[in-house]
Amino acid sequence: MFRQLWRYRSLTMTMVKRQYQLRYRQSLVGFAWAIFPPIASLLVATLVFHKVIGVESGTNVSYPLFALAGLAPWTFFTSAVSSGVPSVVGSIQLVTRFSFPRAVLPISFMGTALIDLALTAGIFVAYVLVTRVGIPLTALQFPLLLGIEMVLATGIILLGSALNTFARDIRLAVPILMQLWLFLTPVMYPLSIVSHSLRPYFLANPMTGVIENFRNILVYGKPLDWSLLTPSVVAALALLIVGTWYFGAVEDRFADVI
Amino acid sequence: MDALVTNNVTKRYRIGIGRARVREMTPPPLDRFFAKLLPKWWTKDTFNALEDVTLSLEKGSSLGIVGHNGAGKTTFLKVVAGVTAPTNGSVKVNGRVAALIDVGVGLHPELTGTENAYLFGAMQGFNTHAMDAYIERIVEFAEIPDLADTPLKRYSAGMVTRIAFATVAALEADVLLIDEVLAVGDAQFQRKCAAWLADYRKRGGSLVFVSHNLGLVRSMTEHAVWLDHGKVVTQGPTPELLTEYGKAMEHREEGLKSGGAKKLVKAAGSKNRWGIGGARLLSVHVDQDALDAESVDVQIAYEGSGELTSAVFRVGFIDETGRELGGAVSPNLPVEIEGGQVTCAMPLPLRTGIYFPVVSIITADGQVRDHWRLDRPVVVERNDGLGEALGPVEFGGTWAGSRNGSHA
């Protein structure tokens, strides 16, 4: 499947470009909309979690920077999953009329999510520059960690978009699941405030290791904590294998059932 | 060399959204396991859209597919295009295949015309850079101004079809599959497409053409196949096949009518059937010995009502555009209350083309009692090699030639 995807990479690029153009077409502010969601969630996190509930970063790092370092990778993950899962069904015009590797559709939404991530990263860098805290050298491990997160998201959207073609329940469940997942992952609060009795469950969550490590390398200057990351890597590889296998096994039928 | 070969292609669909979906989403090899374990449950609610379709198409030739709605025409194109996999059998295509299936709605309503063309190209494996070279030709062929900055949703179906056809024409595949596309466009664009397709085939391109418009099938293709309920009824040279198909349609039209008087009342007033009643056509049979026959025998069965004692019968022909070409009018004939038959041996002074019979019962006061435009075609092939540009009607005439200076 991946060899085929490589052969059709220009199609994937075209799809990414189109999706990005379409998203802001006929809107007045246009492209500027791309930077509002991360800023908005940062404001909500700071206002509600920090000021109202009194959540602290647990270290000497300011809460907004702490939250942004977790929200950026989380937003990437959630936007890739929630746009990737309905992608095959959403392209019914293409699926029922053309022969092309169907995986182009969910994968192209990874591309759009990556562009969004780049914008959020821009906000992060701007914040760091303005507040003069600087970015530690460990941030060089960013591509590796992002790679693990992308593998995890790819596995989920391949499996999810294939299943959603047969049962639209999947698409309806995704927003609910993603919201639950957000609150069960230490994105807007640190893992350190989770009680010891609950800690094992949190550590089993593959996104815990991803988010905590993003903070480690981007804010705290600590290298990747592989023991924390093990569940993430295992889940990412398992989902990628299952997702790729299932998608490849049933993609022939999409045009018939869509 | 064959451009396209299909071997015993069968396509099975599942009906319904409940159980059928559960079975569809079961991946191999689990599906084979369940199919063996619960064979009855597994094959429930299925139907074969295609069954053992075996045919081939030589490079540079063209194949028409005719059949009623649901005969499997579009499914066949989708299987050949690789949009959907056959349940059984194999499809082999030599070269790149492009399909124009159901293009009236376009690819994306929010994208502009050119962006749709780029996307279409990307689907065919042409990247943006490669498409840049073609886009000018596409815009020129489609003849639509503002193609670059109007979203597709603002265009009519006919314009969207133009864009799709222009794109396919520019990218020129080895095998082209066309489904009811030309029927959407206007006559002028239709001619342009037909001319392009003729050129394309001269260059060695192969064509599979599906249409309900038998006139287009006749003019676009040399060979044709007739599908019914997913099976090949027969295949052969297009004129012969259309004649055979026409005969079957005649039976079908009769079948419809013997469905009862009420059905006919409903049909009366439609484009193909109208009249004020008093006498009613029951069946029309056109007996044509050969494709180049000079005359035909027409048998008409009718039903009287007692209101009329006599009427004039007329058998005429129209061409594929609906233009009246003339016909034969009977003298005033008695109309029997209990119904009867009228036969007419008439000359057929028509040149190569496809024609449709029109039969009417008219009373002396000019009232049309029943008028019936039949769907079944009469195909005429004159082997004089003069083509079709000479008009539909042949006047005949007695000709003589002489040399200057000689006294005849």
Give residue-wise pLDDT tens across range A231-245: 999 999 999 999 999
Sign of the CA dihedral with B153 first, then B155, B158, and B159 last: negative
The pLDDT of residue B266 is 45
Please judge whether B21 and A257 are an interchain contact, meaning their C-beta atoms are less than 8 angstroms apart: yes
Best probe of the A interface among B123, B171, B177, by most A CBs < 10 A, is: B123
Q: Tell me the count of A-B CB pairs closer than 8 A.
A: 84
Model confidence at A146, in pLDDT bands (50, 70, 90)?
very high
pLDDT tens digits, B229-256: 999 999 999 999 999 998 888 777 665 5
Give the span between the Cα atoms of B7 and B11, in whole angstroms. 12
Q: What ipTM score was computed for the predicted complex, to two decimals?
A: 0.84
Nearest to B376 by CA among B294, B271, B282, B285: B285
B288-306 in b/e form (b: 16+ CB < 10 A) is beebebeebebebbbbbee
The pLDDT of residue B254 is 64
Residue type at A97? R
The pLDDT of residue B28 is 86
Chain A residues in contact with B32 by the CB 8 A cut-off are: none
The pLDDT of residue B265 is 45
Of all residues in chain A, the one with the smallest CA distance to B28 is: A249
Res. B57: pLDDT tops 90: yes
Chain A residues in contact with B125 by the CB 8 A cut-off are: 8, 10-11
Give the span between the Cα atoms of A71 and A114, in whole angstroms. 14
Region A181-192 average pLDDT: 95
Res. B407: pLDDT tops 50: yes
List the single range of A149-153, B187-191, B386-390 with lowest mean pLDDT: B386-390
The pLDDT of residue B389 is 77
B200-228 in b/e form (b: 16+ CB < 10 A) is bbeeebbbbbbbebbbbbbbbbebbbbbb
Q: What are B's interface residues with A at a Cβ cutoff of 8 A? A: 13-14, 21-22, 24-25, 27-28, 78, 81-85, 99, 101-103, 105-108, 110-111, 115, 118-119, 122-125, 127-128, 151
Give the span between the Cα atoms of B343 and B349, in whole angstroms. 18
The pLDDT of residue B343 is 96
Query: DSSP letter string over A66-126?
Result: HHHHHHHHHHHHHHHHHHHTTHHHHTHHHHTT--S-TTHHHHHHHHHHHHHHHHHHHHHHH
Region B272-287 average pLDDT: 89
Helix/strand/coil percentages in chain A, nearest 5: 80, 0, 20
Residue A191 corresponds to which tokens in the numbers above?
């893992």
The pLDDT of residue A33 is 82
Please judge whether B83 and A94 are an interchain contact, meaning their C-beta atoms are less than 8 angstroms apart: no
Region A12-19 average pLDDT: 90
In B233-353, which residue ranges form alpha helices assigned H by DSSP? 238-257, 261-267
- Asked if B37 contacts B6 with a C-beta cutoff of 8 angstroms, the reply is no
Nearest to B226 by CA among B19, B60, B76, B406: B76
Q: Which of B27, B99, B123 sits opposite A249 (nearest CB)?
A: B27
The pLDDT of residue B262 is 39
B23-57 in b/e form (b: 16+ CB < 10 A) is bbbbeeeebeeeeeeeeeebeeeeebbbbebebeb
Res. B263: pLDDT tops 50: no
Give the span between the Cα atoms of B240 and B400, in whole angstroms. 34
Res. B213: pLDDT tops 90: no
The pLDDT of residue B260 is 41
Q: Is A92 on the interface with B (CB under 8 A)?
A: no
What φ, ψ does residue B200 adopt, rounded to 5°? -55, -40
**CA-CA distances (angstroms) from residue A255 to A96, A100, A149?**
5, 11, 30
Q: Which of A18, A96, A257 sits opposite B83 (nearest CB)?
A: A96
Please judge whether A18 and B127 are an interchain contact, meaning their C-beta atoms are less than 8 angstroms apart: no
Residue with tokens 């006559």: B187
Q: Counting beta carbons within 10 angstroms of the beta carbon of residue B366, is it exposed (0 to 12), middle (13 to 18) or buried (19 or more)?
A: exposed
Of all residues in chain B, the one with the smallest CA distance to A247 is: B27
Q: Is A15 on the interface with B (CB under 8 A)?
A: yes
The pLDDT of residue A89 is 95
Please judge whether B123 and A94 are an interchain contact, meaning their C-beta atoms are less than 8 angstroms apart: yes
Q: Which residue has the higher pLDDT, B20 or B128?
A: B128
Nearest to B320 by CA among B388, B403, B227: B388
Residue with tokens 């050298």: A137
Of all residues in chain A, the one with the smallest CA distance to B106 is: A93
Q: Is the pTM of this model over 0.90?
A: no
Q: Which residue has the higher pLDDT, A121 or B406?
A: A121
The pLDDT of residue B269 is 56
HEC sequence for A15-31: HHHHHHHHHHCCCCCHH
pLDDT tens digits, B127-144: 889 999 999 999 999 988
User: pLDDT averaged over chain B?
Assistant: 88
Mapping DSSP to helix (H, G, I), strand (E, B) and coil, where does residue B49 land?
Answer: strand
Residue with tokens 């991803």: A210
Region B183-207 average pLDDT: 88
List the single range of A215-229, A242-256, B150-164 with lowest mean pLDDT: B150-164
